[in-house]
Amino acid sequence: MNRPIGIFDSGIGGLTVARAVKDLLPKEAIVYFGDTANLPYGDKDTATIQDHALRICDLLLKRQCKVILMACNSAAAAAYDLVQAYVGKRAAVLNVIDPMVNHIGSQFKGQPIGLIGTRQTVQSGIYARKIQALRLDVQLKALATPLLVPMIEASFTQGINQEIIDNYLQSPVLQHIEALILGCTHYPAIKTQIQTFYQHRLAVLDATTMTATYLRNFLVYHQLLSTYYQGQDHFVVSALTADFEKATRIFFGEAVHLEELTD
């Protein structure tokens, strides 16, 4: 089905997921939306994030997206069920949490796993609930790391502060774990620094590739794959600054032209 894949995040962190989707599914056209006017989501209350998520769905539906991929853990934590009910049969709705939960269920049975994410993601308990719903034998140790997103968003101009990362990872909550879930789509941008902290002794898991694989399997199963590339991706943000545009390189691997939302 030659309709685009809609991907959204509170900002440009979700571009890490868009990158993986592009790499795995080059024939799919993408409409990416970054809600930069309302960034960050991670510290906002659930109702506010839900409002934003529904508004973004309207926008992606208007652009005929066949799938809406919530490339934001905080939005998925606050609004996934609501968005699914709202969108109904108009598009499929996927998120970045289910692929990760499936992955740890199959690869880390019986092991203690760490999770870092925004306050919204961690306090919602969404990962633990999904693990429990699938009766997965995984012990989750979750820590909210609210300083990381602002640091990453500002990293293009201000750089990465390894001390902030180390302080979080030294928390007693995250001791004796076999793997660490990066429960925020901004965090792949600091994956190297996190691996450096652990000296590669444990698996640092980001959802980008597993989400792209999950999406591909979904499209194949439902016979929704595009048969040809329509030739244009769109990257739209609700507020545009030059720094955002420059920072796309960090998240997408190449600079992309951002369009500011006008409608």
Catalytic annotation, residues? 72, 184
Of the pair 22, 52, the CB lying nearest ligand DGL is at 52
Of 30, 93, 104, 184, the one binding ligand DGL by CB under 6 A: 184
42 binds ligand DGL (CB under 6 A): yes
Residues 6+ apart with CB under 8 A from 195: 204
34 binds ligand DGL (CB under 6 A): no
The binding track of 128-157 with respect to ligand DGL, each residue x by CB under 6 A or -, is: ---------------------x--------
Q: Which residue is nearest to ligand DGL (CB)?
A: 42
CB of 130 to ligand DGL, least distance (A): 15
39 binds ligand DGL (CB under 6 A): yes
Contact (CB, 8 A) for 16 and 185: yes
Total Cβ atoms within 10 A of residue 216? 15
CB of 250 to ligand DGL, least distance (A): 13
CA pair distance 11, 26, nearest whole angstrom: 23
97 binds ligand DGL (CB under 6 A): no
Of 7, 10, 174, 177, the one binding ligand DGL by CB under 6 A: 10
252 binds ligand DGL (CB under 6 A): no
73 binds ligand DGL (CB under 6 A): yes
| 110 φ/ψ sector (left φ>0, alpha ψ -120 to 50, else beta) | left
162-167 — which CB contacts under 8 Å span 24+ positions? 162/193, 162/196, 162/197, 165/190, 165/193, 165/194, 165/197, 166/197
Of 5, 9, 33, 52, the one binding ligand DGL by CB under 6 A: 9
Of 145, 185, 208, 211, the one binding ligand DGL by CB under 6 A: 185
Instruction: Let me know if 261 is exposed, middle or buried by CB neighbors in 10 A (0-12, 13-18, 19+).
Output: middle
CB of 190 to ligand DGL, least distance (A): 12
116 binds ligand DGL (CB under 6 A): no
CB of 229 to ligand DGL, least distance (A): 27
Total Cβ atoms within 10 A of residue 199? 7
Closest among 106, 99, 43, 38 to 71, alpha carbons compared: 99
121 binds ligand DGL (CB under 6 A): yes
CA pair distance 155, 164, nearest whole angstrom: 13
The binding track of 11-30 with respect to ligand DGL, each residue x by CB under 6 A or -, is: x-x-----------------
Buried b (16+ CB within 10 A) or exposed e, 46-66: eeebbebbeebbebbeeeebb
Contact (CB, 8 A) for 77 and 125: no
Pairing state between β 203-205 and 259-260: unpaired
**Site residues (CB under 6 A) for ligand DGL?**
9-11, 13, 39-42, 72-74, 118, 121, 149, 184-186
